[in-house]
Amino acid sequence: MRKLLRVDITAPDQGDLAERVEAWLSERTAQGWEEASVDDGAAVRFRVHLEDAPPARDFADEAARDWPALSIAVSTIEEEDWGAAWMAFFTPIEVGSVFEILPPWMEGKDIGDRKPILIEPKMAFGTGHHPTTALCLEAFADCFAAGRIGPGNRFLDLGTGSGILGIGLCKLGLTGVGLDIDPQAVWCAAENLRRNHVEAAMGLAVGGAGSLAEGAVFDIVAANILAAPLVAMAGRLVRHVAPGGVLVLSGILTTQASDVAAAYRAAGLPEPETRESGEWASLVWR
């Protein structure tokens, strides 16, 4: 039975410390993590699960080096125990009135007219619980309802991770491609495409925006990554949005939204629509 390394990072809930830890995790772990309030709300615990291999040990060592003042606990668990824990607390997520994110063992659940997105809550790449995922899916739903996107349109899901955003667009009748610089993310996304029966509608490749053909354009481009790379790639990414197309960006803290928006205005776009969920924001051009 495979072993998993559990790394717990506990940060006092003071100022922006927890936000900085979350941003640090986003830069180093493509997979999701569990986040919980502990010590009667005085602290936030970030829990990461990784396959027990040298890269996971390196991650734990880096956490200890970068956050010497924080409590960092490392333990080893059996994979099936970790999976059982997910099954115990994983709950479906309704996104607006259009999507519902479900684990595979809830396939067949009556969700009315909502479109199911089945995501295996395993080691890597997120399950849809993060607010930025919901912000993006809500933007897709609104664009679909307004007739801005629909069957026959093409999408780009940049930084696809689990593939959840691309799967959502496929469920709306679109076709497209998902890119990720992490080969394991692409493998995970491929599993989820098959699970959702949309593998014929969405291609996958290892790479980033720089791997796209210069003239490739899409009716909707979605990138749920981090503020710094979004700023750096603004000029290139805008060129891949078809005239009259839609651009949805997230993975952005509310404190970073104005800087990201400024980079895209400099690349020729108007002021975006800004949506917020807690400390996170999305920018939408449609």
- Residue 224, annotated ligand binder? yes
**Residue 125 identity:** F
pLDDT of residue 82: 53
Residue 98 lies in a domain: no
Its sign, for the CA torsion 137, 166, 160, 101, is positive
Residues 262 and 135 in one domain: yes
- Regarding whether 74 and 152 lie in a shared domain, the answer is no
Could you tell me if 134 and 237 lie in one domain? yes
pLDDT at 13 over 60: yes
Residue 220 is encoded by which pair of tokens? 């909707």
In a domain, 117, yes or no: no
Looking at residue 171, which CATH number applies to its domain? 3.40.50.150
- Of 3-7, 104-108, 236-240, which one has max mean pLDDT? 236-240
In this model, does residue 110 exceed pLDDT 90?
no
Q: Does 220 share its domain with 276?
A: yes
180 annotated to a ligand binding site? yes
Which domain-ending residue is among 85, 114, 139? 85
Assign residue 162 a region (left: φ > 0; alpha: ψ between -120 and 50; beta: otherwise).
alpha
Q: How confident is the model at residue 267 (pLDDT cuts 50, 70, 90)?
A: very high
> Residues 102-113: what's their mean pLDDT?
82
Residue 256 lies in a domain: yes
pLDDT in tens, 36-67: 888 888 899 999 888 777 878 888 999 999 99
CATH code: domain of residue 23: 3.30.70.260
Query: In this structure, is residue 92 part of a structural domain?
Result: no
Q: Residues near 150 by Cβ (< 8 Å), separated by ≥ 6?
A: 144, 172, 173, 174
pLDDT at 89: 57
Pairing of strands 202-206, 175-180: parallel
- pLDDT value at 95 more than 70: yes
pLDDT at 115: 93
Tell me the pLDDT of the chain averaged across its residues: 88
* Same domain flag for 215 and 267: yes
Out of 25, 54, 85, a domain closes at 85
| pLDDT of 172 higher than 90 | yes
142 and 233 assigned to the same domain: yes
pLDDT at 111: 83
The pLDDT-based confidence of 124 (bands split at 50, 70, 90) is very low
Q: Indicate whether 28 belongs to any domain.
A: yes
- Tell me whether residue 264 is in a domain: yes
As a 3-state breakdown, the chain gives helix, strand, coil percent values, each rounded to 5, of: 35, 30, 35
Q: Residues 258, 142: one domain?
A: yes
Is residue 261 one of the residues assigned to a domain? Answer: yes
pTM of model > 0.85:
no
Q: State the pLDDT at residue 32.
A: 65
Do residues 262 and 151 both lie within one domain? Answer: yes
| CA dihedral (29, 180, 205, 245) positive or negative | positive
Please check whether residue 122 lies inside any domain of the structure: no
Q: What is the mean pLDDT of residues 142-153?
A: 96
Domain match, 139 and 221 both: yes
- Lowest pLDDT segment from 102-116, 158-172, 206-220: 102-116
Q: Among 13-27, 157-171, 218-232, which is the least confidently predicted range?
A: 13-27
In 146-226, which residue ranges form alpha helices assigned H by DSSP? 164-171, 183-195
In this structure, are 35 and 134 located in the same domain? no
Same domain for 250 and 136, yes or no, is yes
Q: Please state the domain count of the chain.
A: 2
Q: Taking residues 256-261, what's their average pLDDT?
A: 97
Residue 160 in marked binding region = no
Residue at a domain's end among 63, 85, 107: 85
Same domain, 58 and 158: no
* 159 annotated ligand binder: yes
**DSSP-H helix ranges across 90-156:** 131-145
Domain range enclosing 187: 127-285
122 pLDDT above the threshold of 60 = no
